[in-house]
A and B are shown apart, each in its own frame.
Chain A
Amino acid sequence: MTSLSSLLTITGGAVAVTIAAYLGSALRGERRTLFLPGETSPGHRQIEMRCELCHRESFASADDIQSACVECHGDELREANDSHPRSKFTDPRNAERTALLDATRCATCHAEHVPERTGPMGVTLAGDYCALCHPDIAEERPSHRGASFASCASSGCHNFHDNRALYEDFLVEHAEEPSLLAVARVPERTRIAALGAPLAAGAHDAPAGVAGVERAVVEWSDTTHARAGVNCSDCHVAGEKPWSETVDPGACGRCHDAELRGFERGRHGMRHAADLSPMQPARSVLAMRDDASERSLDCAACHASHAFDVRRAAVEACLGCHEDDHSRAYPGSPHALAWEKSDGSGVSCATCHLPRAANTDGAIQAQHGQNDNLRPNEKMIRSVCMSCHGLAFSIDALADPALIRSNFNGKPRVHVESIDWARRRLTAESESPSHQEEAP
């Protein structure tokens, strides 16, 4: 009996020690997800194992968590000219509204680890939350009478944070544009400064014995890098290390800093920004090709060293991983057919998702935060669609989920009334949309 008791004690102790050791080791590294209180929202899932990025420390205060939100998303909100900044809700004159919706903290509307009530863009409120502060909007805008508060954020109407894309005067100004503009062109990129004089193949400075150097040099010598005086060591030598076979995105960022910042703000590079291993398609919540699941996303994954072909990066690289309906429908779409002509009129994946836009210094560069203009997708209307299409067509197209799935193979079968309402109001006509007439 004594020996049985001892055996059980020893076994139980061993099991406890094993479990403790397992849990203890899980506190570090990727297995920390064991401790998640609930599934993380899609926007944060990639970095969920670094709890401290949001929680800062054990039992972090709400203020600590809020400061973490601002640290990552503050710049984006400032650039968006946030329509509902925190200062609106800390203003004492709005105290009654803040009591209804305490938007002094991001987590009020974007609670985390609550998948059962997490909607698009991580919003965890009911879709009609605008009614909390603007219940009488129909008095100011009779056109809105009868409209559901859940429809405020429909394409072509309002957003909580970013309302740069559309406003009433803009809607009216562009109301008459045709579906396809006479001149359809995206802006030319601004070339960044060369590091030095053009380099010929024989001028490369890779050490002897580096595997595959001959082929790499042949590819490199025909690139913009060689023409801009960028030698092997400019990318492969970083800090104290004499030579590195791989090139971290940070090395690319020494010349392409704006692109790196964008990369780290998007789903492709947010793990890099968080000092985690590179993003892999297997981690994505989107449909991805099975044969790409273990691919690591760094700059070369899309730009393919050492050729650095931007046309390849603009389509082939994307379709090498993405396998959702929208991506699968791209080949054969009107956008793709024009892209294949290579006459400058085509639309690649990058044309829309990494749009060319001016930085604060005025330089036109491909914005590598490829999720930015999808939150929500009408942010794409001005930055992308209107380079080629009229405003009304663009609004309707982006409000049509079926058309998006087919990669715009057809015409919109959804109509957003925002332009109609704005024009009626400007021309002082009766603000009586169809749904108002139907209302009792």
Chain B
Amino acid sequence: MRRIVTVVWVAGFTLACGGTESVGVPPRTMADALHAVLESDRTVYTRNVVNRLQNEEQVIKASEHWKDDKALPLPAQMFRMGSEMVAEKNAGFTYALISLWPVNKQNVARTEAEEKGLRFVADNPGQNYYADEELAGKKYFTAVYADKAISAACVACHNAHKDSPRTDFELNEVMGGVVVRIPLDS
């Protein structure tokens, strides 16, 4: 019930529509929409930029040390850079790429919802995890979406990386999750 009442107000939406009443989008709908954009952009980058230029046409490599190596950023790095840029803009939500088996240990699940969410999406293919969270006295709507290995390059890199705690990932397997967090307090 609270979720129905507590909505993410879309600033300017009402004025843009010429109406007089405030119109909102439920947090879950908003989170799903945000994730659709995030996932699509990353998939396009992975398939049409990195996989095409590195593996199919062999024009340029992708590298963890992309600046030094004058290479393409890895898809996960591109995703994280976007996440940081959104955070700097105080856009009203945050998102992160996390895993139960992260290469960088800073990207491990940090909250109970993240831990439960990662396990849920790994154990329940095709389903998302939703929860309300309270962190540092603030309430959030938190959604966790499965992050799958969509190309052979994802699997090869994670299985071979010296910092990876798992070396047996397979194509299309869940490697982690995208967590989208929307504040519920005004």
Taking Cβ atoms with an 8 Å cutoff, the residues of A that contact B are 81, 85-88, 90-96, 98-99, 140, 164, 167, 169-170, 425-426
Q: Which residues of A contact B111 (CB under 8 A)?
A: 93
Number of B interface residues at 8 Å Cβ cutoff, please give it.
25
Cα A140 to Cα B106 in complex, Å, equals: 11
Q: Which residues of B contact A169 (CB under 8 A)?
A: 64-65
Cα A91 to Cα B80 in complex, Å, equals: 13
A425 touches B162 (CB 8 A): yes
Cα A221 to Cα B114 in complex, Å, equals: 70
B136 touches A93 (CB 8 A): no
Some 8 contacts from A to B, beta carbons below 8 A apart, are: A85-B84, A88-B84, A90-B87, A92-B181, A94-B110, A95-B138, A96-B136, A98-B136
Query: Is B68 positioned at the interface, with any CB of A under 8 Å from its CB?
Result: yes
B65 touches A92 (CB 8 A): no
B94 touches A92 (CB 8 A): yes
Q: How far is the CB of B35 from chain A (nearest CB, A)?
A: 16
Q: Which residues of B contact A95 (CB under 8 A)?
A: 135-136, 138
Cα A140 to Cα B181 in complex, Å, equals: 28
Query: Is B150 positioned at the interface, with any CB of A under 8 Å from its CB?
Result: no
Q: Which residues of A contact B183 (CB under 8 A)?
A: 92
Query: Is B49 positioned at the interface, with any CB of A under 8 Å from its CB?
Result: no
Cα A99 to Cα B137 in complex, Å, equals: 11
B68 touches A99 (CB 8 A): no
Query: Is B88 positioned at the interface, with any CB of A under 8 Å from its CB?
Result: yes
Q: Which residues of B contact A99 (CB under 8 A)?
A: 136
Q: Which residues of B contact A167 (CB under 8 A)?
A: 65
Cα A140 to Cα B135 in complex, Å, equals: 26
Identify the interface centre among B83, B135, B181: most chain A CB within 10 Å of its CB: B135
Interface residues of B in 65-90 (CB under 8 A from A): 65, 67-68, 83-84, 87-88, 90
Q: Which residues of B contact A96 (CB under 8 A)?
A: 110, 136
User: If A91-B96, A170-B65 touch, does A86 touch B88 (CB 8 Å cutoff)?
Assistant: yes
Q: How far is the CB of B157 from chain A (nearest CB, A)?
A: 14
Pick the 3 closest A-B CB pairs, nearest first: A87-B87, A95-B136, A95-B135
Cα A92 to Cα B162 in complex, Å, equals: 29
Other-chain residue from B88, B110, B179 in contact with A87 (beta carbon distance below 8 A): B88
Other-chain residue from B67, B88, B96, B105 in contact with A93 (beta carbon distance below 8 A): B96
Q: Which residues of B contact A81 (CB under 8 A)?
A: 67
Interface residues of B in 137-153 (CB under 8 A from A): 138, 140
Q: Which residues of B contact A98 (CB under 8 A)?
A: 136
Other-chain residue from A86, A88, A92 in contact with B135 (beta carbon distance below 8 A): A92
Cα A149 to Cα B9 in complex, Å, equals: 45
Cα A169 to Cα B64 in complex, Å, equals: 10
User: If A170-B68, A426-B162 touch, does A92 touch B87 (CB 8 Å cutoff)?
Assistant: no
B88 touches A85 (CB 8 A): yes
User: If A167-B65, A170-B68, A426-B162 touch, does A93 touch B87 (CB 8 Å cutoff)?
Assistant: no
Q: How far is the CB of A436 from chain B (nearest CB, A)?
A: 20
Taking Cβ atoms with an 8 Å cutoff, the residues of B that contact A are 64-65, 67-68, 83-84, 87-88, 90, 94, 96, 98, 105, 110-111, 114, 133, 135-136, 138, 140, 162, 179, 181, 183
Q: How far is the CB of B174 from chain A (nearest CB, A)?
A: 19
Q: Which residues of A contact B64 (CB under 8 A)?
A: 169
Which residue of A is nearest B114, CB measured?
A93
User: If A167-B65, A170-B65 touch, does A92 touch B84 (CB 8 Å cutoff)?
Assistant: no
Q: Which residues of A contact B83 (CB under 8 A)?
A: 87
Q: How far is the CB of A314 from chain B (nearest CB, A)?
A: 28
B65 touches A93 (CB 8 A): no
Other-chain residue from A91, A140, A170, A426 in contact with B87 (beta carbon distance below 8 A): A91
Cα A326 to Cα B135 in complex, Å, equals: 51
Q: How far is the CB of A100 from chain B (nearest CB, A)?
A: 11
Cα A18 to Cα B67 in complex, Å, equals: 62
User: If A170-B65, A426-B162 touch, does A93 touch B179 (CB 8 Å cutoff)?
Assistant: yes
Contacts A87-B83, A93-B114 aside, 12 further interface pairs with beta carbons under 8 A come to: A87-B84, A91-B87, A91-B96, A92-B94, A92-B140, A93-B98, A93-B135, A95-B135, A95-B138, A99-B136, A167-B65, A170-B68
Cα A92 to Cα B67 in complex, Å, equals: 29
Q: How far is the CB of B116 from chain A (nearest CB, A)?
A: 14
Which residue of A is nearest B69, CB measured?
A169
Q: How far is the CB of B69 from chain A (nearest CB, A)?
A: 10
B68 touches A93 (CB 8 A): no
Q: Which residues of A contact B110 (CB under 8 A)?
A: 93-94, 96
Q: How far is the CB of A397 from chain B (nearest CB, A)?
A: 22
Cα A164 to Cα B66 in complex, Å, equals: 12
Cα A426 to Cα B163 in complex, Å, equals: 10
Cα A169 to Cα B163 in complex, Å, equals: 12
Cα A417 to Cα B60 in complex, Å, equals: 34
Cα A425 to Cα B161 in complex, Å, equals: 12
Which residue of B is nearest A85, CB measured?
B84
Q: Which residues of B contact A93 (CB under 8 A)?
A: 94, 96, 98, 110-111, 114, 135, 179, 181
Cα A85 to Cα B88 in complex, Å, equals: 9
Which residue of A is nearest B109, CB measured?
A93
Q: Which residues of A contact B179 (CB under 8 A)?
A: 93
Which residue of B is nearest A136, CB measured?
B105
Cα A426 to Cα B64 in complex, Å, equals: 16
